[in-house]
Structure 1
Amino acid sequence: MPGYAVMAPQETMDGQGSPAGFPSAPLRNELEGSTRAGLDTTAVLPYARSRTSSRTQWLRAWMMTAPVDVVALLAPLLLSQNYWRGTLANAALTVAFFAAGGLYRPRRHVSILDELPSLFGRLLASAAVVAIIAAERHSSVEYVGGFIRGVALSAVLVIVGRAASRAFTILVRKRRWAEHNAIIVGNGPIGLELARLLRRYPQYGLRFVGCVDAASRQGTGALPLSGTLDDLEHLVRLLECEVLVIADPHCHESALMDTLLRPRSSQCDLWAVPRLWGSRSHQGGYPDHIGAIPIVKIGDISFSGPRWAIKRASDMLFAAIALIALSPVLLLCAIATFIDGGPGIFFHQERIGRHGRPFKVIKFRSMRPVNEQESQTNWSIAHDKRVGPIGRFMRRTSLDELPQLWNILRGDMSVVGPRPERPYFVEKFSAEYPDYASRHRVPVGLTGLAQVSGLRGDTPISDRARFDNYYIENWSLWLDVKVVLRTVAEVFRGGGR
């Protein structure tokens, strides 16, 4: 796509804003001069590339603070082991309180002074809980007093450690050692102000590399566009973007979400400027901001980080245990399939998995298709006369899908997720239903929320996509457990296909 324009990295802004949030003439001229030239994409790359983002993108906020907190909370053990149970309990409870209070969430504005009230309150709460329990278990005033002195020491060390880690974070950002390329979505006055702040103040850790908006705003907004919303996927790859900042896009929310849920865009960290600034409806903890502009971190719209690690670990554990426990059932199914149709007990078929990657799904064969074309494009064989009684029973009880446990162990699939579909139908449904492609943000599943909600066989694809996306956006380990339990109940009721 020729003609993309990207901000050059020189810092020559005067830092003066204009009344009512609109850009001053010198500031706007400077921005337009640096972007409207329409640089060739090959010339853009040296400027767009962040010097260190590829080496630091794995680093998360909690990695900078949680280890420091744990060391500080366990420091009293170096002086005395008499209170080791209370010290360990206090450390675990404090870290849990910190996590619940948002003290391990990523922030753009980093300040120990902002954190102090929340730190004090949670340190005091956890210490009070453990001290009350210690007083109930030990009547000795000397024991309780020694424990409280240890807790006070650890609290001081937590605050000192936090101050040091915050100072280090600011230093790293100012030296541009941990910069992340950011694209602003929205070229109105707020987008312009964000671009100015990010270029002037490196301590926010974001490097402004471009701006996108709806095509209707081309040439009319406060910032010249690097591309339209339709170009965002290409720009994320071209500019090695890791962060998207939603400012004031000129489009419907449905169109914006459709863009953000595409494979490359959904892998970026997402921040947004809340529309109702005065509502103070920030999610827990204390508010974040860039300059005087409030900003909130949007939760992952695809599985990544700790959530993905938890889900993958639970999948591997479940698949390994199920393969061992169900090995007699698998053997009986294999024998029955052989008796029903001879050699070739397994059926391999291409399906589309996470991020649109194809893989071969494994099932017990319930019939033999005429050819590969029929296998790939025939929607349902539920009433096909070629399906024998054994195959029909295995399909009705979902026993034919048990070999997919091996796909789960390999990482092709998950225990719970959207139904794996064939490439022909993925392409067809993605063109017909806007939300269908969004379900490929996560691995496909052996079972899923849509299936246990009665959406199997000839049911509306739009409803399936809606249930799949609801599952992704509201995922929890308990939700997976509920889907698995409901699946078992469906199997025993014979509610398969």
Structure 2
Amino acid sequence: MAYIRLNKHYIHQHYLALGIIEVFTLVLAAWLAVRLPSVLSGESLFAGIDVGFLVPALIFSVVLSCCTLAMGVYISLVREGYASMVLRTIVSFFLLGSLSLYIVDLITSGNLFDSALLFWGVLFATLMVFLIRALFISFVDLANLQRRILVYGAGQQASELLNRIASQPSRLGVTVVGCVPAGSEPVEVDPQLLLRPESSWLALARKHDVHEIVMAPDERRRDKGTGMPVQELLDCKVSGIPTTDLLSFEERELNAIDVDSLKPSWLLFSDGFRVSRRHAWAKRLFDVAVSGVFLALLWPAMLLTALAVKLDSKGPALYSQLRVGLNGRVFRIYKFRSMRTDAEVAGKAVWAKENDNRVTRVGAFIRNTRLDELPQLYNVLAGHMSFVGPRPERPEFVEDLKQQIPFYDVRHKVKPGLMGWAQLKYPYGASVEDAKNKLKYDLYYAKNHGFLMDLQILVQTVEIVLLGKGVR
């Protein structure tokens, strides 16, 4: 089974074919949208076809296709099912796609797309791709599109990997076919998953239709003459069955970097952590533009929030705290006050708790709706924070966490943000263990962040705000 790699994700060859078909479908949707007014006035659908229309139609198709990829629509079809794909498609076409088409039209002086194409084209495109994907599912067994992996190792690391996969089966496009014990390590996985090569690793991999071998032994050094089967694994690799280390596999499939398995050498030699002046300027421009738009739209809500906080309890409407930012620099963050003024009488930093009794009535509402975070738009405009990035933590907590969690300071190598990858993937952190789990996602963001990832986080944060996830 053939795959292509796109943005650190593997896409099956069937998806490549589906994507090509959809590109032409989107061109057809654009043509139907432009011809609709003439058809309604009595003309034939095929009358007056203008070849010059192909340029805006192709741009329309490319823009919506890019939005589809940015929202992970194809991946979600396998990992999350048809319903999730529908939701992602609606967001990618009607929100991200329409906005992108409008911006492209502005750049071209408003002469590229007409109003019929911007409205009816997106509507027709949505309905047509839903039909095509429904046909795709009826002809292609989605279970066959999942990557079948064989794990080398059956000890603690392998067991923890299987638990992480089992904890979110609907989010992963992988199936574990079995585990091969490494040397004399104690077996900690389900005995029913144990496999042993009868003649060779290649024969075993072909017998179980393995697409990839994941290396998860507890000990990689030679053990009393029994070491890693390098030659066997090399035979598999040259036969088209790649071998992947545990960290790289989890980064790709779980979108996280496991802190417990992390070694400095992996951080040094793996790709990512790229920083350039051009990217920094582009990110800063994005931050200023988005923050300016939000301020222009939300200032009435901010005014009402400040008034509600003042009327609900004694004290100032705004609340400030010191937080740790880029390269460990400390800055002052601003929020609407959601707790009583005596929340930290002793002056000692305290983790927020679930159903915290220090939260006021208005405070509970603005925390659930994220309205308390709106003053941080000033921090973004001032350059202390980015719109997207790891959430900044208090200096008192940072000093403690750096002592207890390895590589914690790496998250400070990117500018903190108003919203982050960890907030999408993990609930509110209120302990050292929570901070450790969130660090997995902060490290992933620090390593792989870019414009498309920032845009994805921005769009998906809408779900967090609407459903009140991860709030305490």
Q: Same fold (TM over 0.5)?
A: no
Shorter-chain TM-score: what band?
A: 0.3 to 0.5
Q: TM-score, normalised by structure 2?
A: 0.42
